[in-house]
A and B are shown apart, each in its own frame.
Chain A
Amino acid sequence: MSGGYLLLALLLLPLLGSVVVAPLRTSPRAAKAVALLFALAELVPTGLAWTEFSTTSAQRLQLRLSVPWIPAFGTSFSLGIDGIALVMLALTAVLVPVVMAASWEDKLPEGRTAAGFYSLVLLVQCFIVGVFAATDVFLFYVFFEVMLVPMYFLIGRFGGPLRQYAAVKFFLYSLLGGLIMLVAVIGLYVVSGQRLGSGTFDWPTLVRIAGTVPIPIQIWLFLGFFIAFAIKAPLVPFHTWLPDAGAEAPIGAGVLLVGVLDKVGTFGFLRYCLPLFPAASRQLAPLVLVLSVIGILYGALLAVGQSDLKRFVAYTSIAHFGFIGLGIYAFSTQASAGAVLYMVNHGLTTGMLFLVIGMLIARGGSRLISDYGGVAKVAPLLGGLFLLAGLASLALPGTNSFVSEFLVLLGSFPRQPVYTILGTVGIIFAALYILWVYQRTMHGPVRGAAVLAPEGPGAASDPAARKARFGDLSRREVAVLAPLVVLVVILGFYPKPVLDVINPAVSATMHEVGLSDPVGGPLR
């Protein structure tokens, strides 16, 4: 199919951009402009891929392209996407230019250049595309690992005061997960060799033989993949790297990290854990469900107790990833479709929340919640968009996240009522953590070290007489958030185009796991 070259273009365009931008060290303006141009150009093949993709086709993987790579080891450079990968590619393509525009005026640490930052962002994009588009398990593994490198540098070189610590922690965690997965990847190859005569990494072939693998072996291999993905996604108790990385990463990289990179974990659950190890998935589902529900409640309670705005966002994400995990392992197409949609929506809403908080921090210079107060009076637009992002994050109906959270819970209930009830209680906590932070930073009298200008002459000690040190959002900042606002509202009311793309893929996944829907019976 000619569509395969679209994926190649998606992969190579950011790589080319990265190479072009990297040398522009002396002219940050040119570097930014060129990088943004490449990121915007990436939207073209993404849009073409979306139109090329058929939602009615019986083909699970479309737009395929396969080039022999190391035939001796049964691995090839194979690309192809299903609906799940397609929506993740679309999310990536939307978020990268937004992140670039948001980082436009970032103050960089000593000795760092915009060219370096933007070049790394494009490199991350290239590797993420590879992760989502690969249909060869070994190729996937390579992208999965190599993706860490630019992200490590983004955090470690461009981040906050504790960036080195956070970056190393992020790296070690991921590396550990990656190595465990490597063992499982090799194991998979060995197993396929036993079944087929010669080993292969070809995903469709592996799915075909998945049912014949003995359950104990499935369980071991499942765990190998699962731990890597659970670290990435992060599920409790593999989560502690995220608050540090999220807090120390520059805002733009943080959005990429939480919005897209972490989704590789949940994407991995759906694409690799379930179809490749169906029996193990069914057996170990309770384990994952428990971890997910713990994540929902634990993440939410920790978010309530945070004093640092960026760590707060990281913990809310841990709660959100719990919902995604619940949706994937509850085994119904409604819950799975909800989980996939959640992956997209979380990227948009948490991305938006992260960006708004970044704009707040850029003004006040402090990450502490207690340094802010009454900001909505000083900067009503900032306050309003903070609230909108927060409401989307707590899944208010009318915003995109409602659809996904509702689908996850509704779809999980028939098979897993207890876990679902516990998860549903989580929505009260979500309201609490969002509205409490909003109240402390945005409501009340205008106060706080980060909001009020340092006492000038005449201001004396009367806080009312002191002037706020910053104003409302600039045009650039509004333009950065505008696409997210539009998507949050549109996908809240008309998610159908996205669901139409997702549904066939999750139905196929359910088929591969060997289960039918608990409500509504067998699938077509």
Chain B
Amino acid sequence: MVSPATGIGTFAWLLLALPVFSATVLLVGGRRTNAWGHLLGCATVLGAFGVGVALFVQELSLPAADRVRELHLFDWIPVNALQVGFGLRLDPLSLTFVLLITGVGGLIHVYSIGYMDHDRDRRKFFAQLNLFVAAMLILVLGNGFVTLYLGWEGVGLASYLLIGWYSDRPAAATAAKKAFLMNRVGDVGLALAIFLLWTRLGSVQFVDVFARIGQVDKPSLIAITLLLLLGACGKSGQFPLQAWLPDAMEGPTPVSALIHAATMVTAGVYLIARTSPIYNLSVDGRLAVVCIGTITLLIGSVVGCAYDDIKKVLAYSTVSQIGYMVLAVGLGPFGYALGILHLLTHGFFKAGLFLGAGSVMHGMHDETDMRRLGGLARYLPITFGTFFLAYLAIIGFPYLSGYYSKDAIIEAVFAQGGWFGAVFGGAAVLGAGLTAFYMTRLVIMTFFGEKRWKDLVAEDGEAYHPHESRAVMTVPMVLLAVGSVGAGAALAGGDRLARWLEPAVGSLREPTVATGMVPRPWVIGLTIGLSALGVLVAILAVGLRPTPVRRPVRVSLPIRAARADLYANAINEALIARPGIWLSRALVFLDNKGVDGMVNGTAALLGGSSGRLRRLQTGFVRSYALSMLGGSVVVIAALLAVRFA
């Protein structure tokens, strides 16, 4: 049941107003705000975090039955039966996201003060970060599909702006455009799902849709789940729309952290969890979700093994980890909580990893090629320490955050039993092993081994002088490391998160024990064992052998395929981009020569010759007057004829 927001809940609009206010001031104020713009940007997001905490505390004080609340703000799009309201939905799911977005997002804001110190447009950067946070908050707080869509595309815009931050680099500009376009493909799915819901149910507000979803016929229901999934794929970088996410690394590193940890890519997971009343009714829809998640987690972890660019490896690691979350939310009632749990722990350790990578780049002339790094642990001790903890968390080292969330997902998949558990569980375990491999490889190549940068010069021609970052950057990293270590135990202990989310995503059912299921200790053992194997292989293959500074060219086919993103870009290029451009060119030709030529030809024919057409122009006013007169004569004649007929 949904109740109206009261007390401090009526101030929830501040969550949106604060970052929007800051973004507006910074964009309209321009250079005048240079001196304090970044401070305003941070203060508003941290202020929003404060509001989020207050709402969270209030929510805890309410009985579970009253924890889904709505705050109506204004009528947005009213046309007869369609009444799109602009309002906020305050429930455990949205508030969880609010805390993640403003909390981790706030830390990234603070870190950016240091990271973007040298950029003369830093204030604009903060304006766009604020916009990003605001859009993401609208996405998770909106009380209907249209408000969700507003945030959905708003996030797309903010990512477009920030990925293209270094807009004078053609690669950045192209990556930004690509991100927006691939997102729009997903948006079409979301939009069509909304249209279908409207057609079947006559409303696009969550309250009505969830109450009446049972009336929808089965084919429509499957279509809705698949269309929503397409939307989720776009925003969350899931197969087949994953190719934009690694390119998005062209943006400044705090942006990557924001996109990958606190906002944007989590939106797809949020969408499926939010529309759980719909997915609960469709086994086929959930199976599609599980398939997409599994394919993506494998693609991500395979490609992650092949890259030498530290940010690209992390990007593919996100693709893969989001795959786990999507897999989890596809499992149904218990899975939603698991997916969100992994999303939260991932938010901590992935933000930590990206900020660590940014700190490495900051100290190393923006170098991202790991073949040119190495042995940095001693020079960047805080960065290394926090990075290493986040690394342990992501590979699922026992009792760190990732262990509680990722391993729980793998267990839950196996617990489904039968072919389902074997196929998808097997894939998830395999992914865990690959994750351990590529992450260990990344840590070794960056922080251990030879100092390969010693004899090299950076792109700007200077020698490398690695140095630790300032406190404004390291403090957020330390805080995130704390989260990487402790969040999992804190949230998973006693199913705390799952029970907290229950009012929002429906009653929890422990997965029923299916026949032929693999015993739980075996699953845990298998996961830890494969992960350990991954670490070991990485140590043997990368750690104990010298790493060539130049990337070996003659490599086996699988590595070549992985380096080419498993040919995702080539396929997009060949199937969509190039034929599209050809089609466009052909149509331009056709329109100029064909359609227009026909019109000019007809005109010329009517006029006797094209020369005469040209002559028409000289005495044009007269001829117009003549035709007007002729027309008038016809009219009057016709009128008279009718009158006296």
A residues touching B (Cβ–Cβ < 8 Å)? 72-73, 145, 149, 152, 164, 168-169, 171-173, 175, 179, 182, 185-186, 189-190, 193, 198-199, 237, 239-241, 298, 301-302, 304-306, 333-334, 337-338, 374, 376-377, 384, 391, 396-398, 402-403, 406-407, 409-411, 413-414, 417, 420-421, 424-425, 427-428, 431-432, 435-436, 439, 442-446, 493-496, 499-500, 503, 507, 517-521, 523
Q: CB distance B81 to A520 under 8 Å?
A: yes
Q: B603: which of A172, A428, A432, A442 is its contact (CB, 8 Å)? A: A172
Q: CB distance B202 to A519 under 8 Å?
A: yes
Closest to A337 in B: B79
A445 to B171, CA, bound (A): 11
Q: CB distance B199 to A519 under 8 Å?
A: yes
Whether, in the assembled complex, B643 has its beta carbon less than 8 Å from a beta carbon of chain A, the answer is: yes
Could you mark each residue 502-539 of chain B with 1 if its beta carbon is under 8 Å from any beta carbon of chain A, else 0? Answer: 00000000000000000000000000000000000000
Could you mark each residue 143-155 of chain B with 1 if its beta carbon is under 8 Å from any beta carbon of chain A, else 0? Answer: 0001001101110
Whether, in the assembled complex, B280 has its beta carbon less than 8 Å from a beta carbon of chain A, the answer is: no
By a CB distance below 8 angstroms, the chain A residues around B81 are 334, 517, 519-521
By a CB distance below 8 angstroms, the chain A residues around B2 are none
A376 to B176, CA, bound (A): 15
Whether, in the assembled complex, B407 has its beta carbon less than 8 Å from a beta carbon of chain A, the answer is: no
By a CB distance below 8 angstroms, the chain A residues around B188 are 424-425, 427-428
B residues touching A (Cβ–Cβ < 8 Å)? 27, 74-82, 86, 146, 149-150, 152-154, 157, 160, 164, 167-170, 172-174, 176-177, 180-181, 184-185, 187-188, 191-192, 194-196, 198-199, 202, 204, 580-581, 583-585, 587-588, 591, 595-596, 599-600, 603, 613, 616-617, 620, 624, 627-628, 631, 634-636, 638-639, 642-643
Q: CB distance A407 to B79 under 8 Å?
A: yes
Closest to B597 in A: A240
By a CB distance below 8 angstroms, the chain B residues around A410 are 82, 194-195, 198, 204
Known interface pairs A413-B195, A499-B79. Does A302 touch B177 (Cβ–Cβ under 8 Å)? no
Q: CB distance A432 to B599 under 8 Å?
A: no
Q: CB distance B587 to A302 under 8 Å?
A: yes
Closest to A445 in B: B168
A427 to B583, CA, bound (A): 17
A420 to B192, CA, bound (A): 9
Q: CB distance A444 to B620 under 8 Å?
A: no
Q: How far apart are B277's CB and chain A's nearest CB, in angstroms?
A: 20
Q: CB distance B164 to A305 under 8 Å?
A: no
Q: How far apart are B133's CB and chain A's nearest CB, in angstroms?
A: 15
Q: B596: which of A189, A240, A402 is its contact (CB, 8 Å)? A: A240
Closest to A191 in B: B642
Closest to B189 in A: A424
Q: CB distance A306 to B588 under 8 Å?
A: yes
Closest to A239 in B: B595
A171 to B625, CA, bound (A): 13
> Would you list 14 pairs from A and B whose C-beta atoms are within 8 A, ordered by A residue?
A241-B599, A301-B584, A398-B153, A406-B191, A410-B194, A413-B196, A420-B195, A427-B184, A439-B176, A444-B170, A494-B76, A499-B79, A503-B78, A517-B80
Known interface pairs A414-B199, A519-B199. Does A240 touch B595 (Cβ–Cβ under 8 Å)? yes
A301 to B55, CA, bound (A): 48
Q: A189: which of B154, B603, B624, B642 is its contact (CB, 8 Å)? A: B642
By a CB distance below 8 angstroms, the chain A residues around B581 are 304-305
Closest to A495 in B: B77
Q: CB distance A444 to B173 under 8 Å?
A: yes
- Give the A-B pair count, Cβ closer than 8 A: 200
Known interface pairs A72-B643, A304-B584, A396-B153. Does A413 touch B199 (Cβ–Cβ under 8 Å)? yes
Known interface pairs A301-B584, A496-B78, A519-B81. Does A168 touch B617 (Cβ–Cβ under 8 Å)? yes
Q: CB distance B191 to A446 under 8 Å?
A: no
By a CB distance below 8 angstroms, the chain A residues around B624 are 149, 152, 171, 175
Known interface pairs A302-B591, A334-B80, A520-B81. Does A377 touch B168 (Cβ–Cβ under 8 Å)? yes
Q: CB distance B599 to A240 under 8 Å?
A: yes
A411 to B160, CA, bound (A): 29
Known interface pairs A424-B188, A435-B180. Does A334 touch B79 (Cβ–Cβ under 8 Å)? yes
Q: CB distance A398 to B194 under 8 Å?
A: no
Closest to A193 in B: B642
Q: How far apart are A196's CB and chain B's nearest CB, in angstroms?
A: 12
A134 to B389, CA, bound (A): 75
Q: How far apart are A504's CB and chain B's nearest CB, in angstroms?
A: 10
By a CB distance below 8 angstroms, the chain B residues around A495 are 76-77
Q: How far apart are A186's CB and chain B's nearest CB, in angstroms?
A: 5
Q: CB distance B584 to A305 under 8 Å?
A: yes
Known interface pairs A413-B196, A435-B177. Does A298 touch B80 (Cβ–Cβ under 8 Å)? no
Q: CB distance B617 to A164 under 8 Å?
A: yes
Q: CB distance A333 to B79 under 8 Å?
A: yes
By a CB distance below 8 angstroms, the chain A residues around B588 are 302, 305-306
Q: CB distance A305 to B585 under 8 Å?
A: yes
Q: B631: which of A149, A179, A376 is its contact (CB, 8 Å)? A: A179
Q: A171: which of B79, B153, B620 is its contact (CB, 8 Å)? A: B620
By a CB distance below 8 angstroms, the chain A residues around B584 are 301-302, 304-305
Q: B583: which of A241, A301, A442 is its contact (CB, 8 Å)? A: A301
Q: B627: which of A72, A175, A337, A494 is its contact (CB, 8 Å)? A: A175
Q: How far apart are A50's CB and chain B's nearest CB, in angstroms?
A: 18
Q: CB distance B620 to A439 under 8 Å?
A: no
By a CB distance below 8 angstroms, the chain A residues around B74 are 494, 496
Q: How far apart are B571's CB and chain A's nearest CB, in angstroms?
A: 17
A421 to B634, CA, bound (A): 45
A186 to B583, CA, bound (A): 44
| Additional A-B contacts beyond A334-B80, A398-B150 (10; CB < 8 A) | A179-B631, A185-B635, A239-B595, A302-B588, A305-B588, A333-B80, A413-B199, A443-B164, A444-B169, A521-B81
